[in-house]
Amino acid sequence: MERKLRKILVDALSGLGIPADNIEIEVPKDALHGDFSTPVAMILSKQLKKSPKIIAEDIRSKISGSDSFESIEIAGPGFINFRFSKKFIVLQMKELISGGDSFIAENIGRGKRVQIEFVSANPTGPMHLGHGRGAAVGAALSNMLNAAGYSVEKEFYVNDAGRQVKLLGESVFARYKELLGVSYPLPEDGYRGDYVGDVAKELKNEYGEQFKSIDFDKASEAVIDFAYNRMLDAIKKDLADFGVHFDTWQSEKELYSLNKVQQALEDLRGKGFVFDNEGAVWFKSTEFGDDKDRVVVKNNGDYTYFAPDIAYHRDKILRGFDELIDIWGADHHGYVPRMQAVIQALGHPKDSLKVILVQMVSLLKAGQPVQMSKRAGEFITLREVIDDIGPDTTKFLFLTRRSDSHLEVDIEVAKAQSSENPVYYVQYAHARINSIFAKAKEEAGLSAEAFSEFDGELLNDEELVLVKKLLLYPMVFKNAVLAREPHRITYYLQELAGMFHPYYHRHKVVTDDAELTKARLALCVAVKIVLKHGLEMLGVAAPQKM
């Protein structure tokens, strides 16, 4: 619907000899102002040195005559307000029904290759809620970009090198020794959760008493590998149960073994962005707007964590992606400038890396905050929440807010299968439509999937309002994709469900009037198409029955 209007406006403006790019089209808050509105006349006013009303009048005279509109009004300081004709709306509705997903999703990606990296939880323990939120956002974004014609690859970066996995290995090793009756100190910043002991038991099952009398240094490689792989398996299982799937898993260790870290630094040195100073090797990130230059090789010869990150992002670019999306915890926001500096140093525009920051999730239980102590290894895991309230509810709740705003989840509310829980509200609308279809088949012998002909004139005003809401979805979807914001879809779905439920209560779909029944069934088909598409984007099930 918005696409049509846009085209009409562009044509009208070029007919007037006005170059038109990026015409603003918006949905007025007040229905009295029509279905769509554009402030374009006011914006052009200064440039054309004409009053907005005159410009608006010129535009209107170019367009009038089209039977797509019931009215075109000029109002306020120079808004042009459009109200579509019933004929046009019904025509669009038929296109939605016959076209389905292809009607909804414009191909704005045009095959552009996007890599989206998310979760990337350290394989040193179970995932927490923040990881879950990142997973939900990443998966939803991937679905959206895919549907919008991008070629998307989802990747999990495995931090299997460095201090953290070593600490995990040593923590497990200490517990393992304990199991064998040998006293061994837990490392200073070691991991203390119960799962460490579980992995130690598995280590014992696998290796027996093989490491009983040797030091960690001698056994470290095998133990570390064993330990983080166990954790990675657990993470993979949690993600699978959460319904989030990755295309590729990139190992940090591999970047070292394939010499890519060194290559990356040499490459940047060749470009003049890596230099030596005070015994260390530095990346000149200030060249690209960072606060200070960053050390990549310490004066003791060790790489900083930043070095493999550089190599990783360089590798992604070399793999030929047009755009990179990283989803990080918001506490890492300080790293955005230096990472974007890397991208630029490698000769790519700053915005070819988009970093989406995901804020913390705080957990409440019946209104009371649940305390989480990471030090004691006590925190609510994603696994517990999924087991408690199910993957669909969890995902939906994670996608109800802008990702960079704090999120509170009350576990008691989420568990309640009631109106407090927005997931069910949306899913219920979908299931409800399915019930109607069953009824239609049983009583009227009408198969909702089978018919495409119906008399749109039979739709009443209330139904047209609902149809218009449906026809807005392609625009909502497009804007959500462009802004990379899944929550816009979540909101839209709640609004749509909030219109369908009341409609359901006021009007019976399946009646003795065969023609009216068909028209209303068509409306239900259309609502269902949109609900299903939206829920699919969010990675949430669209149940036939509840």
Residues of span 443-472 touching RNA by CB under 7 A:
none
- 37 touching RNA, by CB under 7 A: yes
What gap in Å lies between CA 270 and CA 262, rounded to an integer? 12
- Binders in 286-325 for RNA, by CB under 7 A: 291, 294-295, 298-300, 302, 304-305
- 27 touching RNA, by CB under 7 A: yes
Q: Which is nearer to RNA, 218 or 298 (CB)?
A: 298
Q: Which position among 50, 149, 400, 415 is part of the footprint of RNA (CB under 7 A)?
A: 400
- DSSP label at residue 416: S
- 485 touching RNA, by CB under 7 A: yes
- 76 touching RNA, by CB under 7 A: yes
- 30 touching RNA, by CB under 7 A: yes
Query: Which element (helix H / strand E) includes 461?
Result: helix 461-483
Contact 294, 338 (CB under 8 A): yes
- 334 touching RNA, by CB under 7 A: yes
CB atoms near residue 68 (< 10 Å): 19
Q: What is the DSSP secondary-structure string of 291-332?
A: SS-EEEE-TTSPBPTHHHHHHHHHHHHHTT-SEEEEEEEGGG
Contact 116, 153 (CB under 8 A): yes
CB atoms near residue 209 (< 10 Å): 11
- 415 touching RNA, by CB under 7 A: no
What gap in Å lies between CA 156 and CA 262, rounded to an integer? 22
Tracing tokens 């913390």 back to the chain, one arrives at 360
- 26 touching RNA, by CB under 7 A: yes
Q: Which is nearer to RNA, 78 or 211 (CB)?
A: 78
Q: Which position among 16, 23, 43, 180 is part of the footprint of RNA (CB under 7 A)?
A: 43
- 79 touching RNA, by CB under 7 A: yes
Contact 106, 533 (CB under 8 A): no
Q: Which is nearer to RNA, 31 or 182 (CB)?
A: 31
What gap in Å lies between CA 308 and CA 296, rounded to an integer? 9
Q: Which is nearer to RNA, 27 or 48 (CB)?
A: 27
Q: How far is CA 460 from CA 147, 168, 261, 452, 465, in A?
A: 32, 65, 66, 19, 9
Q: Which is nearer to RNA, 135 or 399 (CB)?
A: 399
**Coil, helix or strand at residue 148:** coil
Select the span of 230-238, 255-263, 377-385, 498-506 touching RNA (CB under 7 A): 498-506
- 515 touching RNA, by CB under 7 A: no
Smallest gap from Cβ 242 to RNA, in A, equals: 19
Select the span of 200-208, 372-380, 398-406, 459-467 touching RNA (CB under 7 A): 398-406
- 34 touching RNA, by CB under 7 A: yes
Q: Which position among 17, 19, 21, 46 is part of the footprint of RNA (CB under 7 A)?
A: 46
Per-residue binding string, RNA, 240-279, x by CB under 7 A, is -------------------------------------xxx
Smallest gap from Cβ 245 to RNA, in A, equals: 25
Q: Which position among 99, 208, 272, 502 is part of the footprint of RNA (CB under 7 A)?
A: 502
- 148 touching RNA, by CB under 7 A: no
Angle between helices 391-398 and 216-242 (to 10 degrees): 90
Contact 467, 459 (CB under 8 A): yes
Select the span of 36-44, 106-114, 148-156, 451-459 touching RNA (CB under 7 A): 36-44
Smallest gap from Cβ 294 to RNA, in A, equals: 6
Strand order in the sheet with 294-297: 274-277, 280-283, 294-297
Q: Which is nearer to RNA, 206 or 331 (CB)?
A: 331
Q: Which position among 406, 457, 462, 513 is part of the footprint of RNA (CB under 7 A)?
A: 406
Select the span of 87-95, 236-244, 265-273, 402-410 touching RNA (CB under 7 A): 402-410
Query: Which element (helix H / strand E) includes 392?
Result: helix 391-398
- 228 touching RNA, by CB under 7 A: no
- 439 touching RNA, by CB under 7 A: yes
- Nearest Cα neighbor of 314 from 260, 355, 273, 357 is 260
Do the bridges between strand 79-84 and strand 36-38 make them parallel or antiparallel, or are there none, so unpaired? antiparallel
Count of chain residues binding RNA (CB under 7 A): 91
Contact 197, 171 (CB under 8 A): no
- 489 touching RNA, by CB under 7 A: no
